[in-house]
Structures are given as structure tokens and as C-alpha cells.
Amino acid sequence: MKFTLGVPFSGDVLPHQHLRTALISTTPPAVLVKELRKSYAREGGVLPFWNRGSQRHMALDGVSFELRQGERLAYLGPNGAGKTTMIRCLSGRTRPDSGTIELMGQPVDRSSARDTLGLVPQEIALYGDLTTRENLFAFGRFHGLRGSNLAKRVEWALQWTGLADRGDDLVSTFSGGMKRRINLACGVLHQPEVLLLDEPSVGVDPQSRQRIFTMLDQLSERGTSILLTTHHLDEAETQCDRIVIVDRGRVVATGTFDELLRQTIGRDRSVTVRLDRVLRGEGNEPLATCGLTLAVKPGERSISAKVPEIAVGLPRLIDAVGAAGYGVVDVDVQSPSLHHVFLHLTGHELRD
Ligand SMILES: Nc1ncnc2c1ncn2[C@@H]1O[C@H](COP(=O)(O)OP(=O)(O)OP(=O)(O)O)[C@@H](O)[C@H]1O
């Protein structure tokens, strides 16, 4: 299969909220990935060529998806799902075995990819013995910025990261969250249209994480298309427009959170009502006729129900429980979550 990303594949390094529906629907995808495959030799050394096909580990096993222009897309999967491999393929750091990648509707070459893409790797890639400002100048030059434009972008980055008062301090003295913010700034100094983020909030506290997403909101507002890998379900659910769920090198589902719910477990709430006594074997007609799907098992002290419209269904359920002669001790309402979707799709927990 032809591979259309013309960026380096010889092992060398190249360098929201809700949007903008009109922009998304009328423009080509910022990134279009089709049937991407990448395998690695399994541990244990070099294999004979006739055996390689069967003895290789598929890090990417025919992955297809698109990042639409202006959207923030979560590439969600557990450890080892192939997230970093995907980022490395997109940024030209790893050569895929087969498949195609397009950037802004075009097969890209090295220079257009360098101008259009911003990459923020998972590891902090900063010079600890330089100050914040010196780091930003170094990375800005690396991205081809010079003179007053470079100086302007560095000042912008200091404001954007909230570190204007720490511009002349050595980066080695900073907290993990502060380093992550500078790491992020270094990847966007050249104002890329497409930003690739590999686990942008890994290892940071919740407050720093929120700060990072506030920074990303500002990029989204100016139309930057953002692909971020994550294994945080809540991050994908609440901070991204759409989600690509990957597992063992394959895409298992794609969509908005709402679409994923509809494709899998549905949007009903799971309600458990704890009773003041065990369920009798008879006299439960009000429960049977209340119009909800219930699990009523004589001998147990609780009733489980699937409730589509909670404001209507919950009072109806409570009334039916009372009419059947039971008292309510407690009510537990569970909304369907991405955790449940992932479990439904893969049969295992995200953190397995
Ligand atoms: N250079 C390599 N050589 C051999 N195997 C590799 C290499 N890079 C990745 N792999 C394997 O490919 C699979 C996918 O790895 P990858 O780092 O892309 O996953 P990931 O989803 O980013 O995981 P994590 O969340 O832990 O970072 C893993 O099984 C990994 O061991």
C-alpha cells in the first residue's frame, strides 16, 4: 500500500469546547489516517525473515480515523494500545509498515509537516539548566522563528503558560506541572494548525491538569486541530469533542460521547432502590405494572431498574415501591460513563 506522508521515515526526527460545526463539515480533515499498520519484532531478538509475519507484535493493526479541522479528538486506550506509536507515525518519527496519512487534505512533505504540525511528546523535553525564556527561544529557533516574531511568540508563551514571572528561573527548579506547561508552549510557538499531544496530563496533579486544558481551550478558540492521546476516561469524556477508542492496536469505536453511548450501552440510568425489608414472592403487582424494566428478585432487599428519563421514571419507581408496601432506605443512580462503554466494547478495564 502506498504511504502518502512524505515526512521522514528513515528513523530521523521531524521535528474546546464545542466547535465550530460549520468549519468541521466544510473542510477536509486536518489529519486523515487510513489502514495504518506498524509492527515490532517481539522481544527475543531478530527473527528469520520467513517467520517475521507471525512473530511480530502489531502496535497498529489497520488503524483508520480522522481529526477534523478545529476539533479536539481524544485517542483513548490502555497502556500498550499503540497511542505513542500513532503519534510517532503522524509526526514522522516512526515509519509505518503500510497505510496512508494525509495532512490538510494533502500528502505532506517534510517542510509542510514541520510548519503545520506541533508535537508535544509524553516525556518532558526541556533543557533544565536553561531558564524558561532561554528554552522558549531555543525551541522557537528550532521551529524557524527569528527576530521580533520570535521575541513576540516567547512573550506570548510566558503569558499563556502563566509563567511570566518565572521567565528567568532555571527550568530544573520547576514543578512537574510547570515543566509540562512549558513543554506544551515549546510545541506551539510556531502556531501549528495541527497539534499532536502524547498524554499531555500524565503525572500532573488535578489543578495543573485543569490549567493545561484551559491553555488548550485557548488554542481551540483560534481553530487549532488537536489530537491528544490519553488513558484518562474523564479527560476524553469531558475535554474532547470526539473520541477514538483503541485497544491492542485497533480502533474499537469512534464518536462523540453521546454517539458512543448510543452505539453501545444506551443512555438509560441504572437505578438501585434499597428496601426496608426483603422482597416477597407475591403482592408486587405495582412494581410489575409501573412501566419500567425492573429486576425484582424475591428474597433480596433491593430492586434494580433501567430508567430512560430520570425525572419521570424515578418518581414512578418510588411510587410503585410504596404501593407494593415497601419503604425506601436508599436510592443509587448511576449515569452511563465512558468506563462502562470501554468495558462493553473490550471486555476489560482500561487500566488492566
Ligand atoms: N520501539 C519498539 N520496539 C518494540 N516494541 C515496541 C516499540 N515501541 C512500542 N512497542 C510496543 O508496541 C506496543 C504499543 O506501544 P505504545 O508505546 O505505542 O503504546 P501506548 O498506548 O502509547 O502505551 P502507554 O500508554 O504505556 O504509553 C507495546 O506493546 C509496546 O511494547
Residue 292: which domain range? 269-335
Tell me, yes or no, whether 140 lies in a domain: yes
Question: Separation of 168 CA from ligand 1 center, angstroms?
Answer: 37
Tell me, yes or no, whether 82 lies in a domain: yes
70-122 pLDDT per residue, tens = 999 999 999 999 999 999 999 988 999 999 999 998 886 677 778 899 999 99
Q: Of 219, 234, 263, which residue is a domain's last?
A: 263
**Which pLDDT score is estimated for 340?**
92
User: Looking at the structure, do residues 92 and 222 belong to the same domain, yes or no?
Assistant: yes
Stated pTM of the model: 0.83
Ligand 1 atom having least distance to the Cα of 249: 14
Report the nearest-CA residue for atom 29 of ligand 1: 80
214-227 pLDDT per residue, tens = 999 999 999 999 99
Q: Of 234, 263, 292, which residue is a domain's last?
A: 263
Lowest mean pLDDT among 6-20, 245-259, 268-282: 6-20
User: Looking at the structure, do residues 275 and 153 belong to the same domain, yes or no?
Assistant: no
Ligand 1 atom having least distance to the Cα of 87: 18
CA distance 241 to 237: 8
Chain-wide mean pLDDT for the chain? Answer: 88
**Which pLDDT score is estimated for 349?**
86
How distant, in Å, are the alpha carbons of 2, 116, 170, 174 from that of 127? 38, 24, 9, 12
User: Looking at the structure, do residues 322 and 182 belong to the same domain, yes or no?
Assistant: no
User: Looking at the structure, do residues 299 and 216 belong to the same domain, yes or no?
Assistant: no
Ligand 1: residues with CB < 6 A are 40, 57, 59, 77, 79-85, 231
Mean per-residue pLDDT, 128-142: 96
Tell me, yes or no, whether 6 lies in a domain: no
Lowest mean pLDDT among 112-121, 223-232, 301-310, 315-324: 112-121
Taking each helix axis from N to C end, the angle separating 147-160 and 176-188, rounded to the nearest 10 degrees, works out to: 140
Q: How many domains does the structure of the chain reveal?
A: 2
Of 174, 190, 194, the residue nearest 126 (C-alpha) = 174
Ligand 1 atom having least distance to the Cα of 246: 21
Question: Separation of 28 CA from ligand 1 center, angstroms?
Answer: 30
pLDDT reading at 45 higher than 70: no
Residue among 83, 86, 91, 252 to mutate when testing ligand 1 (max atoms within 8 A of CB) = 83
Residue among 36, 57, 88, 231 to mutate when testing ligand 1 (max atoms within 8 A of CB) = 57
Ligand 1 atom having least distance to the Cα of 81: 21
Lowest mean pLDDT among 11-20, 49-58, 63-72, 75-84: 11-20
Tell me, yes or no, whether 147 lies in a domain: yes
Domain CATH for 176: 3.40.50.300
User: Looking at the structure, do residues 299 and 185 belong to the same domain, yes or no?
Assistant: no
pLDDT reading at 135 higher than 60: yes
Report the nearest-CA residue for atom 12 of ligand 1: 59
Report the nearest-CA residue for atom 24 of ligand 1: 79
User: Looking at the structure, do residues 330 and 292 belong to the same domain, yes or no?
Assistant: yes
Phi/psi at 81 (nearest 5 deg)?
Answer: -75, -15
Q: Of 229, 263, 297, which residue is a domain's last?
A: 263
Lowest mean pLDDT among 104-118, 149-163, 190-204, 329-343: 104-118
User: Looking at the structure, do residues 273 and 254 belong to the same domain, yes or no?
Assistant: no
What percent of the chain has a predicted confidence (pLDDT) above 70? 87
**Which pLDDT score is estimated for 107?**
80
Tell me, yes or no, whether 283 lies in a domain: yes
Tell me, yes or no, whether 48 lies in a domain: no
Tell me, yes or no, whether 191 lies in a domain: yes
Report the nearest-CA residue for atom 4 of ligand 1: 40
**Which pLDDT score is estimated for 17?**
45
Q: Cα(first)–Cα(last) distance of the chain, in Å?
A: 34
Tell me, yes or no, whether 49 lies in a domain: no
How would you classify the pairing of strands 250-255 and 242-247? antiparallel
User: Looking at the structure, do residues 236 and 307 belong to the same domain, yes or no?
Assistant: no
Question: Separation of 37 CA from ligand 1 center, angstroms?
Answer: 13
User: Looking at the structure, do residues 122 and 250 belong to the same domain, yes or no?
Assistant: yes
Say how many C-beta atoms besides its own lie within 10 A of residue 6's C-beta.
Answer: 17
Question: Separation of 84 CA from ligand 1 center, angstroms?
Answer: 7
User: Looking at the structure, do residues 274 and 231 belong to the same domain, yes or no?
Assistant: no
User: Looking at the structure, do residues 105 and 246 belong to the same domain, yes or no?
Assistant: yes
Higher pLDDT among residues 42 and 235, named by residue: 235
Ligand 1 atom having least distance to the Cα of 43: 4
257-287 pLDDT per residue, tens = 999 999 999 999 999 999 999 999 999 999 9
Residue among 39, 55, 84, 227 to mutate when testing ligand 1 (max atoms within 8 A of CB) = 84
User: Looking at the structure, do residues 224 and 287 belong to the same domain, yes or no?
Assistant: no
Lowest mean pLDDT among 3-7, 214-218, 343-347: 3-7
Domain CATH for 316: 3.30.70.2470
